[in-house]
Amino acid sequence: MHLSGVAKDLGGRRIVDDLDLDVASGELVCLLGPSGCGKTTTLRMVAGFLSPDLGNVVIDGRDVTTLPPERRPTAMVFQNYALWPHMSVFDNVAFALKLRRLPRAEITRRVGEMLELVGLTHHLRSRPAYISGGEQQRVALARALVQEPAVLLLDEPLSNLDAKLRVRVREDIRDIQQRLRITTLVVTHDQDEALSIADRVAVMNGGRIEQVAPPDTLYRRPATRFVGGFVGAMNSLPGKIENEVALLADGTSIAVLTPCAPGGTEIAVRPEDVVLAAGGTAARVQRVVPRGHFTEVVLEVGETRLRAYLGPDDPRPAPDDTAAIQFRRALSYADGQLIG
Ligand SMILES: Nc1ncnc2c1ncn2[C@@H]1O[C@H](COP(=O)(O)OP(=O)(O)O)[C@@H](O)[C@H]1O
Ligand SMILES: [Mg+2]
C-alpha cells in the first residue's frame, strides 16, 4: 500500500499535509502521534470514507483514490468497534459476506474459521452487550478479517480496554497479523503499543510524518526533536557537543562516553543514558522516585534539570546528595533536526 502526497483540508484547516507512506506486503505499520494530529483522517482516506484533496492512494498497484469504501480491498476496525448490538457475534461477522451474497455454506465456514482464529467460537450466539470489551474487540477484528482485505486498518484498537488487557490483546493482534501475513496499518497515540507490535512506526505531528523507522531506530536515533520527546522520555538540553563533551548553555560540561556527532544547539539524552560515574560532573539529587524495575532520579546540574533512570543494581542516591554523572550516549539537534 502506498500513499503519496496526500493532503486534506477540513473545517478550513489543513489536517493532513503532503503525506507519503509505504506499507509493504505483510508488514504492520503503526501511525503514531498525539491526539488531533490527523491519524484517523489519514486512515479514513485509505479506507475511502474521506477523499484526499491532493495525492493518491495505491493498493496492490491499483490507484483507489476515487473508489468508495466498498470497492476498496480494505477493511477497517473502528475505534468504538461499531458492532451491531441487535445481532449475534456470528451475524456481526457474517454481515459483509451476506451483503456480497456468498453461498450460505461458504459464509458459515469462513465465519467459523475466523471466530476460531480469534478464539470466540463459544460466543457465536452472544450479543455484543453480553461479552467483554476484549471479546468485542476480537469480534470487530474478525468482522474485518473475514472480508479477506488486502489491507487491514485499525483505529486505536486498544483504547477501550484496561491496561492489563491492552497488553494481551495487542499481542493477539500481532500474532494474528503474522499468521495471516496481512498488510496492516494501525493508528495509535500510545508509543508502547506502537513500539511493541509494529515492523515500522510512522510518527505523525501536525498532519505530517516526521519519521518512519523500525521501533529500535526510532528510539535510538529520533530524526527530530519532536520524535525524541514523543517516543520515550528524553532530556532536552540547550547546548552543543564538542570533543565528546556535552557543553550545556549554562556553562556546565558533561562527558559523553560514546562517539557522537559534534555541533548543534540542543543535546538530547535518554534518562537511562545518564549514568552515575566517579569523576563525572557534580549534580545535586533533587528527587528519588522508585518506579519498580528502575529508579527515577531528578538531578540539578548548574541551572539544568535532568532525569536519570537507574537500574536495580546501581547505587541509589538520596535527596540532597551530590552525584557524579556522565552521559553514556547523546544526540545533537539543530533546528529540531538530528545531526549526524
Ligand atoms: N469533519 C471535520 N471537520 C473539521 N475538523 C475536523 C473534522 N474531522 C477532524 N477534524 C479535525 O482534524 C484534526 C485531526 O483529527 P483526527 O484525524 O481525528 O486526529 P487523530 O485521529 O490523530 O486524533 C482535529 O483537530 C480534528 O478536530
Ligand atoms: Mg483518531
What local confidence, expressed as pLDDT, does residue 232 receive?
Answer: 93
**Helices then strands (H, E): number in the chain?**
8, 20
| In the predicted structure, residue 165 carries a pLDDT above the cut 90 | no
Confidence band for 10, pLDDT divided at 50, 70 and 90: very high
What local confidence, expressed as pLDDT, does residue 92 receive?
Answer: 97
| C-alpha 35 – ligand 1 centre gap (Å) | 9
| C-alpha 313 – ligand 1 centre gap (Å) | 46
Confidence band for 161, pLDDT divided at 50, 70 and 90: confident
Phi, psi angles (nearest 5°) of residue 148: 50, 55
Domains of the chain as residue ranges with CATH: 2-224 (3.40.50.300), 233-338 (2.40.50.140)
Nearest CA to ligand 1 atom 17: 38
Q: 77-122, pLDDT tens digit by residue?
A: 998 889 999 999 999 999 999 999 999 999 999 999 999 999 999 9
Mean pLDDT of the chain: 95
What local confidence, expressed as pLDDT, does residue 163 receive?
Answer: 86
The preferred substitution site among 31, 32, 41 for testing ligand 1, maximizing ligand atoms within 8 Å of CB, is 41
Confidence band for 286, pLDDT divided at 50, 70 and 90: very high
Confidence band for 256, pLDDT divided at 50, 70 and 90: very high
Contact residues for 86 (Cβ-Cβ < 8 A; gap 6+): 127
What local confidence, expressed as pLDDT, does residue 80 receive?
Answer: 87
CA separation, residue 153 to residues 148, 173, 229, 262 (Å): 12, 12, 26, 42
Share above pLDDT 70 across residues of the chain, in percent, rounded to a whole number: 100
What local confidence, expressed as pLDDT, does residue 267 receive?
Answer: 97
What local confidence, expressed as pLDDT, does residue 159 receive?
Answer: 87
Residue 60 CA from chain centroid, whole number: 24
Read off the pLDDT of each residue in 1-30 and give the average, rounded to a whole number.
97
Cβ of residue 228 lying under 6 Å from some atom of ligand 1: no
| In the predicted structure, residue 153 carries a pLDDT above the cut 90 | yes
What local confidence, expressed as pLDDT, does residue 223 receive?
Answer: 98
| In the predicted structure, residue 340 carries a pLDDT above the cut 90 | no
Nearest CA to ligand 1 atom 20: 36
Nearest CA to ligand 1 atom 24: 36
Read off the pLDDT of each residue in 168-190 and give the average, rounded to a whole number.
95
- C-alpha 144/C-alpha 182 separation (Å) is 12
Nearest CA to ligand 1 atom 13: 36
DSSP states along 103-141: -HHHHHHHHHHHHHHTT-GGGTT--GGGS-HHHHHHHHH
Read off the pLDDT of each residue in 123-152 and give the average, rounded to a whole number.
94
Cβ of residue 207 lying under 6 Å from some atom of ligand 1: no
Computed over its alpha carbons, how large is the radius of gyration of the chain? 24
Cβ of residue 137 lying under 6 Å from some atom of ligand 1: no
Cβ of residue 12 lying under 6 Å from some atom of ligand 1: no
| In the predicted structure, residue 303 carries a pLDDT above the cut 90 | no
What local confidence, expressed as pLDDT, does residue 116 receive?
Answer: 93
Nearest atom in ligand 1 to 207's CA: 14
Confidence band for 42, pLDDT divided at 50, 70 and 90: very high
Cell of 254: 558533561
What local confidence, expressed as pLDDT, does residue 79 receive?
Answer: 87
Nearest atom in ligand 1 to 35's CA: 23
| C-alpha 37 – ligand 1 centre gap (Å) | 8
